[in-house]
Structure 1
Amino acid sequence: MPPRAHNFSAADPVEELRAAACAEDDNGQPLYEPTDPARPIGHANPPRRPRGKAAQPSQRPSRLEVERRVAEAQLWIAQRIPLVLTVEKARESWGVTNTQTVNRYLNLARERMVEELINDRRRHQAEQIFAINECARRAMDAEQFSAAVGAFRVIAEIGGLLRAPIKPPEPRA
């Protein structure tokens, strides 16, 4: 399989974008090998581009640039910017005119946001449970057992062990 072939079953899609440049210099800028027009067209020798504006080959982003684009896409998603404006911002900021590429960055940003939310949520839950457990211990030391029971109830709610309220809601008259 050629090194630049798209393999969508990669473990991390960002790694796929990072691996797009076949080589990088010390500053993380992609290096390109010139193609030989005498050789047949293939993955290592793409067809010639038309002369004029499109004569320059498009630069593949470096690893640092991919990370910056994903972070910027996360910001746009968090700001709830409409897709049309997001594509326009990507054209201005990244120089990317292909909407599929923009959608790919947006999908990667969404995946990364979900992973960060899940990881941060677990850490936050652990911090809250630890703090409330300390409160429950102090309540038991002060013989305030109803406060300790309430603290343990909150710990169970945070941990997902208790979903419904203990007391039924009072009927509204």
Structure 2
Amino acid sequence: MPPRTPNQAAADPVEELRSAASAEDDNGQPLYEPTDPARPIGHANPPRRTRGLALQPPPRPSRLEVERRVAEAQLWIAQRVPLALIAEKARESWGVKNTQTINRYLNLARERMVEELISDRRRHQAEQIFALNDCARRAMDAEQFSAAVGAFRVIAEIGGLLRAPLKPPESKS
């Protein structure tokens, strides 16, 4: 991947996260080469941490794990989970404590949700119309006719049949 300037946005942020692991095995798990203490310290053999292994950052997620995290973030957004609770769930589920990383996953999830909504617009419209038809049918069975009329009005708006305002503009006399 060519180096980017700070003002230049990533072409595909999901692909950037997917390529975070340098190498993966056939199951999508990241491969890491252990450092050899006998070799001199360099870019391929970094120095050991003096504080111990407990403070080493967790390994980068595989592509499959990134996809799972983005899907889980989409679910949390769809459920309208508060941001503080999302951060807590991400710490428990993903082991990620950095809020910037959590926000990156949330932004990717939001972008993906918008793309899916735009690309599947007809399907979403059909689902909403079907649900409103059922709602109107139940409202008529319960003799709540104003609710049924409202549901049919929304169906007409979604279907593009109703474009004019419900009330005509007031005439100036």
Aligned to 2:52: 51
Alpha-carbon distance in 2 for matches of 1:46, 1:116: 42
Aligned to 1:80: 80
Residues 118-149 of structure 1: per-residue CA shift (max 9 Å, x gap): 11214455999xxxxxxxxxxxxxxxxxxxxx
Aligned to 1:151: none
Aligned to 2:121: 121
Q: Unpaired runs of 5+ in structure 2?
A: 129-155
Going from structure 1 to structure 2, the CA distance change for 1:46 and 1:52 (only over 3 Å counts) comes to closer
**1:80 corresponds to which letter in structure 2?**
R
Aligned to 1:101: 101
Residues 71-109 of structure 1: per-residue CA shift (max 9 Å, x gap): 000111111111111111001001111111111100100
Aligned to 1:32: 32
Going from structure 1 to structure 2, the CA distance change for 1:8 and 1:18 (only over 3 Å counts) comes to farther
Normalised TM-score (structure 1): 0.64
Going from structure 1 to structure 2, the CA distance change for 1:163 and 1:79 (only over 3 Å counts) comes to same
**Identity of paired residues, percent?**
78
Given that 1:91 and 1:97 are in contact with CA atoms closer than 8 Å, whether structure 2 keeps it comes out as: yes
**2:119 corresponds to which letter in structure 1?**
N
Q: How many Å apart are 1:45 and its aligned residue?
A: 4.7
Given that 1:14 and 1:108 are in contact with CA atoms closer than 8 Å, whether structure 2 keeps it comes out as: yes
Given that 2:14 and 2:108 are in contact with CA atoms closer than 8 Å, whether structure 1 keeps it comes out as: yes
Alpha-carbon distance in 2 for matches of 1:79, 1:168: 38
Q: How many Å apart are 1:159 and its aligned residue?
A: 5.6
Going from structure 1 to structure 2, the CA distance change for 1:85 and 1:2 (only over 3 Å counts) comes to same
**1:74 corresponds to which letter in structure 2?**
Q
**2:111 corresponds to which letter in structure 1?**
E
Q: How many Å apart are 1:168 and its aligned residue?
A: 2.1
The number of residue pairs the alignment matches comes to 139
Q: Unpaired runs of 5+ in structure 1?
A: 129-153
SS in 2 for 1:23: coil
Given that 1:17 and 1:66 are in contact with CA atoms closer than 8 Å, whether structure 2 keeps it comes out as: yes
Alpha-carbon distance in 1 for matches of 2:10, 2:32: 24
